[in-house]
Amino acid sequence: MIAADAKVRIEGENPPYVLDVRQPSEFASGHIPGAVLIPLDQLAARMSELPKDREILCVCRSGARSGSATRTLQSAGYQAVNLSGGMIAWQGAGFPVKKGS
């Protein structure tokens, strides 16, 4: 999913659960407001924390790690989509970013 479509969905009636799979220091440097941090290396152990009845938008810096997270979640029966281009694309489009944890 491209950044513009993700922003529309996030601001819509049924927003996706925004899952950031980067490391804590990356997350603190800037993330999508409302995003939840679960680093990719913890995803398998923490998957039960995620909603099964809601779309999950996976985010990382460039889209590579979140692509892996998306495939993992889809294989486990979750409705997951990847933010193409990650935070680079999100910030490049001038969309809001929250700093801190």
Catalytic positions: 60
As a whole number of angstroms, the distance between CA 98 and CA 91 comes to: 11
**Which residues have a Cβ under 8 Å from the Cβ of 94 and sit 6 or more positions away?**
none
Q: Name residue, tokens 């980067």.
A: 22
Are 24 and 39 in contact, with CB atoms under 8 Å apart? yes
